[in-house]
Amino acid sequence: MSMTISADLCTACGDCEPVCPTHAIVPRKGIYFIKSEVCTECEGEFDMPQCMSVCTSDSIAPLEA
C-alpha cells in the first residue's frame, strides 16, 4: 500500500518531501505527488508515515484500493 496526496488540499509547502525515507515524494505541477511504486508507508522504520506526521493541511492519506 502507499500514501496519496490530495491535489485539492495540498498547499505545496514542501514539508513532506524531506521527511520521506524512500524519497517517494516529488513536486509536480505546483503540488507534491507520491510515487506509489516507491512508497512503503514507512513500515518497519516508523510508527506512522512521516509525511502524514508533518502535513498541516491533512492532504495525505492512505491510497484507497
Number of domains, the chain: 1
Set of cell numbers at residue 56: 498541516
- CATH value at residue 45: 3.30.70.20
What's the domain range around 18? 1-64
Q: Within 10 A of 4 (CB to CB), how many other CB atoms are there?
A: 15
Q: For residue 1, is pLDDT > 90? A: no
28 and 54 in contact (C-beta within 8 Å)? no
- Return the biggest CA–CA distance within the chain: 31
Q: For residue 65, is pLDDT > 90? A: no
Give residue-wise pLDDT tens across range 5-44: 999 999 999 999 999 999 999 998 889 999 999 999 999 9
